[in-house]
């Protein structure tokens, strides 16, 4: 090996990324971890970085500018979706391009990821790993230390920044080898991978509805995806809180939206975007349907921007509730 190299490691804080750091550190490579923060993958990597004694650069993608970029990508991913509404290949390319800028700024020699060959069918096959490398313009600068010995030799190895013989040959979905290695390194790690909300079925249903009906999606809209039961009546969206915590969050996130709450019985807080005469009645009735008065008639519901109006209404039956549910 020629000189002490410097690497940027894509660092989710999950086991694979921890191992990628460890493997490089063992080769005496100076590692900087880069972690992306977004409304969709909100996990912090600070604790993991601290344990590895590695410098951490956090890139915040949760502001409106980055949300716009992310939403455009999610609306029409060039390389399709995974099992839910996760545009993983496009997403990885986007994050690697951002990491490339950090690499240049930090004068690092290459970027490494914790990707493992064939661990994920959508984005970690040999072909997809090659595609991601090509599309992110990192042909000579991208290393996957956990599977490197099963992949073509990279420029990073050829130039002697790392010793290929000391890199690994992991592949497949079973994580036994990773766990054994974690034991060897005495690494404590969070529950396996994932954590991205776009991979969750329930969120995906709500997300597809949001993409279909809303052009200018903001952070608040994404936060609302994580809570409540969602209903759709044309342009109007109704979100019914499922518990005390969600009710509070709904009040916190309501902008100019209308709120609904039962006046005299315990029940949900409901949010309504785009109120119309017809939908106000449906939102009020849904509020009754999920309250302690769901079997009663003429239940009084407070509503309005400041809950300063009131209406007496019957609950919807199960069939009606199902009809409006986002699916």
Tell whether residue 198 is a contact of ligand SF4 (CB under 6 A): yes
CB 275 within 8 A of CB 301: no
Minimal distance in Å, beta carbon 63 to ligand SF4?
17
Contacts of 187 (CB under 8 A, 6+ apart): 15, 18, 19, 22, 51
CB 178 within 8 A of CB 156: no
Tell whether residue 204 is a contact of ligand SF4 (CB under 6 A): no
Q: For the chain, what is the radius of gyration of the CA atoms?
A: 24
Contacts of 130 (CB under 8 A, 6+ apart): none
Q: Which is nearer to ligand SF4, 12 or 291 (CB)?
A: 12
Minimal distance in Å, beta carbon 195 to ligand SF4?
8
Tell whether residue 61 is a contact of ligand SF4 (CB under 6 A): no
Minimal distance in Å, beta carbon 213 to ligand SF4?
21
Binding mask 32-51 for ligand SF4 (x = CB under 6 A): --------xx----------
Size of the residue set binding ligand SF4 (CB under 6 A): 10
* Residues 127-134: contacts with CB under 8 Å, at least 24 apart: 128/89, 131/79, 131/89, 132/89, 132/92, 132/93, 132/96
Of the candidate residues 8, 21, 54, 91, the single one contacting ligand SF4 (CB under 6 A) = 91
Minimal distance in Å, beta carbon 87 to ligand SF4?
6
Q: Which is nearer to ligand SF4, 24 or 61 (CB)?
A: 61
CB 46 within 8 A of CB 56: yes
Q: Which is nearer to ligand SF4, 40 or 290 (CB)?
A: 40
Q: Which stretch binds ligand SF4 (CB under 6 A): 82-90, 138-146, 159-167, 179-187?
A: 82-90
Q: Which is nearer to ligand SF4, 36 or 258 (CB)?
A: 36
Of the candidate residues 5, 112, 199, 316, the single one contacting ligand SF4 (CB under 6 A) = 199
* Residues 46-51: contacts with CB under 8 Å, at least 24 apart: 47/13, 48/11, 48/13, 48/17, 48/18, 48/189, 48/190, 49/11, 49/13, 51/187, 51/188
Q: Which is nearer to ligand SF4, 92 or 249 (CB)?
A: 92
Q: Which is nearer to ligand SF4, 40 or 260 (CB)?
A: 40
CA angle 176, 180, 185 (to 5 degrees): 145
Task: Tell me which residue of 150, 186, 189, 187 sits closest to 168, measured CA to CA.
Answer: 150
Tell whether residue 88 is a contact of ligand SF4 (CB under 6 A): yes
Tell whether residue 86 is a contact of ligand SF4 (CB under 6 A): yes
Q: Which is nearer to ligand SF4, 124 or 302 (CB)?
A: 124
CA angle 195, 200, 202 (to 5 degrees): 140
How far is it, in rounded angstroms, from Cα 30 to Cα 102? 15
Binding mask 101-140 for ligand SF4 (x = CB under 6 A): ----------------------------------------
Phi, psi of 239 (to 5 degrees): -125, 125
Residue 244 half-sphere exposure, CB side, CA atoms within 13 Å?
A: 1
Q: Which is nearer to ligand SF4, 87 or 315 (CB)?
A: 87
Q: Which stretch binds ligand SF4 (CB under 6 A): 44-52, 85-93, 98-106, 140-148?
A: 85-93
Minimal distance in Å, beta carbon 146 to ligand SF4?
16
The residue ranges that bind ligand SF4 (CB under 6 A) are: 40-41, 86-88, 91-92, 196, 198-199
């Amino acid at each position: 090996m020629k000189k002490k190299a410097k690497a940027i490691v894509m660092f989710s804080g999950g086991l694979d990324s921890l191992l990628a750091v460890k493997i490089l550190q063992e080769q005496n490579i100076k590692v900087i971890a880069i972690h992306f923060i977004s409304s969709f993958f909100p996990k912090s990597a600070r604790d993991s970085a601290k344990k590895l004694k590695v410098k951490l650069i956090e890139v915040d993608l949760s502001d409106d500018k980055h949300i716009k970029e992310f939403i455009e990508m999610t609306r029409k991913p060039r390389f399709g979706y995974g099992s839910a509404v996760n545009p993983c290949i496009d997403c990885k390319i986007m994050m690697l391009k951002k990491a490339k800028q950090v690499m240049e700024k930090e004068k690092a020699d290459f970027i490494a990821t914790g990707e493992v060959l064939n661990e994920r069918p959508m984005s970690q096959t040999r072909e997809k790993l090659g595609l991601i490398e090509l599309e992110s313009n990192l042909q000579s600068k991208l290393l996957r230390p956990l599977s490197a010995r099963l992949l073509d030799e990279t420029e990073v190895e050829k130039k002697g920044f790392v010793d290929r013989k000391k890199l690994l040959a992991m592949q497949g979905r079973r994580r036994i080898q990773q766990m054994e290695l974690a034991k060897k390194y005495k690494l404590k790690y969070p529950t396996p991978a994932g954590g991205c909300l776009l991979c969750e079925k329930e969120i995906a249903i709500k997300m597809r509805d949001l993409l279909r009906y809303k052009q200018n999606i903001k952070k608040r809209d994404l936060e609302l995806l994580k809570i409540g039961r969602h209903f759709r009546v044309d342009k109007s969206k109704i979100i019914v809180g499922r518990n005390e915590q969600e009710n509070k969050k709904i009040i916190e996130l309501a902008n100019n939206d209308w709120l609904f709450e039962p006046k005299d019985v315990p029940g949900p807080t409901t949010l309504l975007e785009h109120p119309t005469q017809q939908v106000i009645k449906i939102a009020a009735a849904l509020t009754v349907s999920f309250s302690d008065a769901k079997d009663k008639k003429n239940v009084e519901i407070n509503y309005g921007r400041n809950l300063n109006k009131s209406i007496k209404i019957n609950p919807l039956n199960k069939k009606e509730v199902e009809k409006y549910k986002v699916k």
